[in-house]
Chain A
Amino acid sequence: MRRRYFKQSLFFALVTLSAGLLLFSLGGLLVYIFLNGFRAVTWDFLTLPPMDSMTKGGILPAILGTLYLTLGAVAVALPLGIVSAIYLTEYARQGKIVRVIRIGVNCLAGVPSVVFGLFGLGFFVVFLGFGSCILSGALTLGILILPTIIGATEEALKAVPQTFREASLALGVSKWLTIWKVVLPSALPGILTGSILGIGRAAGETAPIMFTAAAFYTAKLPGSIFDEVMALPYHIYVLATAGTFIDQTRPLQYGTVLVLVGLVLGIDLFAIVIRSVVRKKKRW
């Protein structure tokens, strides 16, 4: 009896400890970045291009570049991913082929991001001749987050009660309209969760855009989807490794990191708010 009690407290302690460690490392990371970076983040920092070999000035082109790339990636991946997931869960006959496609999607999710970068370079930049630009980068990032969105959408679709589908079909509503009017609206919160994860990933990746979209330095703000852009993750990489005056750029580096983290958290927060609003409207 006493032994069992001891065992239970031991496991409880272990579980609490790991949860605590997780929170501690996340918190530590954020605090560290904030303390090192907040002095660099001024209004000028957010609104000016880099100057004097990147030792002064701001990161406006990189912020805009990352925004464009992320939005582009989502614009590519969201429709494609949702349609694919609808096919896989609602239409395709559950058999060998669907299983192979699913394995394929899961493998795609595990491919290192630099491989996506090289694929984007070979296919979009060179073969299709887009050059290094927003379009190539957004397409590459789009493919990168596609598996996340397909997976989340599939889960969300499966979670919609079968009785909703039956109710609609029994009213003489076609399968397509049933999916469009009943299933998709109910699955929307789950689909949004998937996109949140996708957005976060797309905004933070460096390797896929390094060969396909990102410029080392350009003070010009992008005017079309065929322009090269600066991007926050790549800018951080550049500041940390390739600058001539690493010591002088260090505060800027932390500032950039802080902005990137803030941007990703901001986008996530926005999506979470939308999701909870949608969820409140669709209770069952």
Chain B
Amino acid sequence: MEKDSIIETNRVHFYYGKFRALTDISMRFQKHRITALIGPSGCGKSTLLRLLNRMNDLIPEARVEGEVVFEDRDIYGPDVDPVEIRKKIGMVFQKPNPFPKSIFNNITFGPKLSGVAAKADLRNLVEESLRQAVLWDEVKDILDRSAMALSGGQQQRLCIARALAMKPDVLLMDEPTSALDPISTAKIEELVEELKKKYTIIIVTHNMQQAARISDMTGFFYLGRLVEYELTEKIFTNPSVKQTEDYITGRFG
């Protein structure tokens, strides 16, 4: 494995029952980079994302072939606990999904259950995570108010802060701005670019401008296959595959 890659998929096939959703995906995700996964609906990009922290385990009849290597071992190996994997590879979802708890308790939920108990530690963690998610100034006086009272964009940043509170190595983002207005979207994009200094980010997006704006690497998926995986600049200026060009110029998808 190259030194700077953090997750690697080797010849991964993925099935929902009999339906093959991903075919032969081999990809290296680089440390402290933002990798964007793009492609039309149903192309398998979200499936791949959820495969990287074993969220697809929740789907009955789902089956994985091939290996996903993280920290020198196959996360689908028999002795791997998916719970441990998910502590290191966090996830932010398409729709903001805060718990119906206070802002404070949303952030401390994960850390508390994995053993952080001291009140002072939790307080620091809340502030640190909210600052990283650029939400601290907006909510520092209302930490005990319900997270459901926040706006959609604030909720999504709270969800990012909640994921960061687990101090993961990798952050997976599944269309994190598709339910948000343009201003909130801009805030999150800014935030993501800031976060790559400390984390590795893999983001699925429907929005090609977004991929072009924020990512370092871009993978284009079509019908469950990885068509092209390149530096973002190259993909958007000089793609080597015709299908990629057709998609990014808006001829289909």
Contact = CB atoms under 8 A, between A and B. Distances in A.
B86 A171 contact: yes
B157 interface: no
A169 B86 contact: yes
Give the secondary structure class of A's interface. Answer: helix
B100 A170 contact: no
A163 B162 contact: no
B129 to A, nearest CB: 12
A223 interface: no
A163 B109 contact: no
Interface stretch (B14-22, B88-96, B203-211, B226-234): B88-96
Nearest to B100: A284
Contacts of A284: 100, 148
Interface stretch (A24-32, A46-54, A174-182, A200-208): A174-182
B148 A170 contact: no
B114 A186 contact: no
Given A181-B109, A284-B100, A171 B162 contact: yes
Given A164-B97, A181-B113, A283-B148, A169 B58 contact: yes
Given A164-B97, A186-B100, A170 B86 contact: yes
A165 B93 CA distance: 12
Contacts of A282: 100
B95 A163 contact: yes
B51 to A, nearest CB: 13
Nearest to B112: A181
A171 B89 CA distance: 8
Contact of B113 (A161, A164, A173): A173
A167 interface: yes
Contact of A170 (B91, B113, B146): B91
B159 A167 contact: yes
A164 B96 CA distance: 10
B84 A172 contact: yes
Interface string B35-78: 00000000000000000010100101000000000000000000
Q: Which 7 A-B pairs have the closest CB atoms?
A: A172-B87, A171-B110, A170-B91, A163-B97, A172-B86, A284-B100, A167-B97
Interface of B: 53, 55, 58, 60, 83-88, 90-91, 93, 95, 97-100, 109-110, 113-114, 146, 148, 159, 162-163, 166
Interface of A: 93-94, 161, 163-174, 177, 181-182, 186, 282-284
Given A169-B58, A171-B162, A284-B100, 20 more contacts: A93-B60, A164-B97, A166-B55, A166-B58, A167-B98, A170-B55, A170-B91, A170-B93, A172-B84, A172-B87, A172-B110, A173-B83, A173-B109, A173-B113, A173-B114, A174-B83, A177-B113, A186-B100, A283-B146, A283-B148
